[in-house]
């Protein structure tokens, strides 16, 4: 049983398009992967030349498809394709996006930019194309953190590792999926960084590898913990974020330098920032660490209620 109370759901803001000023800010920053529109029922992400429309109901998709051309024209934006993705009630029903509009003969792989860093996307790879834009501010925080040795757990396509490596850090990335780790290496190469020079990639179970790293005496001065809500590890071991985040953070502290920056992040709708803070406070006290808490401000294109819940322990 989790020791934490379940947060009441936060009120969702009405649907909104981003402003021209925000769009200009992205252009200046070298970012072409961001939200264009957000609402409770549907949202639109821009991924370079392509758009991805995620929707809960067909009617929400259809109204957005109707509104899009006028908004794009008013903001002098063009696109080559629109992909659509149904947001299912059950994770098991998740499927890759499908092409709604555009040339079906074009490759489904593409490259986008965030603050000048390149990331490869693949619309055929599955439910997620390769970059979670709601972590943009946390990637930027890590990049400017000054961390020299960075551990990225549940690394997926290693976007946090690339952000740290661009700033000169040595990185260690762990993900169960070999395919994701290989895409991570490709993201390093896209940015002109040799993935074999000071960077390690493990296709392994985080909960098994962390104790091994601790036994070897490894220490990191930044650690990213962004686990899925539920997963089954290498040996069928279950991970359930509400119950197991505390154990994960305690394991992470064993490989953390005393002043390490540790990111706690979750998409579990039954947890919020206060839940993360409760976990962090307990673990900081239990390990007699000194820890302050830091949250990056909400993204300009993405209301906080639609983003992952995150907290840095510094
Ligand atoms: C939410 S995604 C992480 C997203 C990533 N932090 C980012 O910002 O791009 C979760 C990832 O955890 C991986 N995963 C799930 N259980 C795992 C485990 N026990 N050990 C290692 N990786 C695991 C999945 O393969 C998936 O890539």
pLDDT, position 2: 37
Q: Is residue 42 part of a domain?
A: yes
C-beta neighbour count of 191 within 10 angstroms: 14
Token pair belonging to 154: 């549940």
Q: Is residue 128 part of a domain?
A: no
- Please give the number of the atom of ligand 1 that sits closest to the Cα of 205: 20
The per-residue b/e assignment along 254-289, b for 16 or more CB within 10 angstroms, e otherwise, is: ebbeeebbbbbbbbbeebbbebbeebbeebbeeeeb
47 lines ligand 1 (CB under 6 A): no
pLDDT, position 4: 39
- Please give the number of the atom of ligand 1 that sits closest to the Cα of 130: 9
Residue-by-residue pLDDT tens, the chain, 314 positions: 333 344 445 677 789 999 999 999 999 999 999 999 999 999 999 999 999 999 999 999 999 999 999 999 999 999 999 999 999 888 888 999 999 999 999 999 999 999 999 999 999 999 999 999 999 999 999 999 999 999 999 999 999 999 999 999 999 999 999 999 999 999 999 999 999 999 999 999 999 999 999 999 999 999 999 999 999 988 889 999 999 999 999 999 999 999 999 999 999 999 999 999 999 999 999 999 998 999 999 999 999 999 999 999 99
Ligand 1 atom 1 nearest Cα = 228
State how many domains the chain has: 2
> Is there a single domain that holds both residue 92 and residue 138?
no
Cβ proximity of 104 and 278 under 8 Å: no
Instruction: Give CA–CA dist 169/38, Å, rounded.
Output: 34
pLDDT, position 137: 98
CATH (domain of 137): 3.40.50.150
Instruction: Give CA–CA dist 85/22, Å, rounded.
Output: 25
> Is there a single domain that holds both residue 178 and residue 295?
yes
229 lines ligand 1 (CB under 6 A): no
> Is there a single domain that holds both residue 215 and residue 260?
yes
pLDDT, position 92: 84
Domain holding 220, by residue range, is 133-313
> Is there a single domain that holds both residue 63 and residue 169?
no
Instruction: Report the run of H or E that residue 130 belongs to, with start and end.
Output: none
> Is there a single domain that holds both residue 102 and residue 196?
no
Through-space distance between the first and last CA atoms of the chain, rounded to whole angstroms:
28
């Amino acid at each position: 049983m989790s020791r934490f109370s379940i947060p009441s759901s936060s009120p969702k803001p009405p649907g909104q398009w981003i402003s021209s000023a925000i769009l200009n800010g992205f252009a200046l920053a070298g970012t072409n992967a961001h939200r264009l529109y957000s609402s409770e029922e549907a949202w639109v992400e821009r991924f370079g030349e392509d758009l991805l429309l995620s929707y809960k109901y067909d009617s929400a998709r259809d109204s957005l498809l109707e509104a899009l051309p006028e908004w794009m024209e008013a903001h002098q934006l063009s696109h080559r394709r629109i992909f659509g993705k149904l947001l299912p009630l059950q994770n098991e029903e998740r499927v890759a996006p499908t092409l709604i509009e555009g040339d079906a003969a074009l490759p489904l792989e593409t490259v986008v930019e965030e603050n000048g860093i390149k990331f490869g996307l693949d619309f055929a790879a599955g439910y997620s194309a390769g970059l979670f834009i709601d972590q943009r501010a946390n990637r930027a925080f890590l990049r400017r953190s000054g961390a020299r040795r960075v551990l990225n757990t549940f690394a997926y396509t290693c976007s946090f590792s690339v952000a740290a490596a661009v700033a000169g850090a040595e990185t260690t990335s762990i993900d169960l999926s070999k395919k994701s780790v290989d895409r991570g290496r490709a993201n390093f190469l896209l940015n002109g960084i040799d993935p074999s020079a000071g960077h390690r990639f493990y296709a392994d179970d985080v909960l098994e590898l962390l104790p091994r790293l601790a036994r070897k005496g490894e220490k990191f001065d930044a650690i990213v913990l962004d686990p899925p809500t539920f997963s089954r590890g290498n040996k069928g071991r279950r991970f359930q974020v509400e119950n197991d985040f505390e154990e994960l953070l305690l394991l992470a502290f064993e490989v953390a330098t005393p002043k390490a920056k540790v990111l706690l992040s979750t998409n579990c709708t039954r947890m919020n920032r206060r839940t993360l803070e409760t976990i962090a406070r307990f673990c900081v006290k239990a390990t007699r660490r000194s820890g302050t808490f830091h949250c990056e401000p909400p993204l300009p294109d993405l209301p906080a209620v639609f983003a992952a819940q995150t907290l840095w322990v510094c």
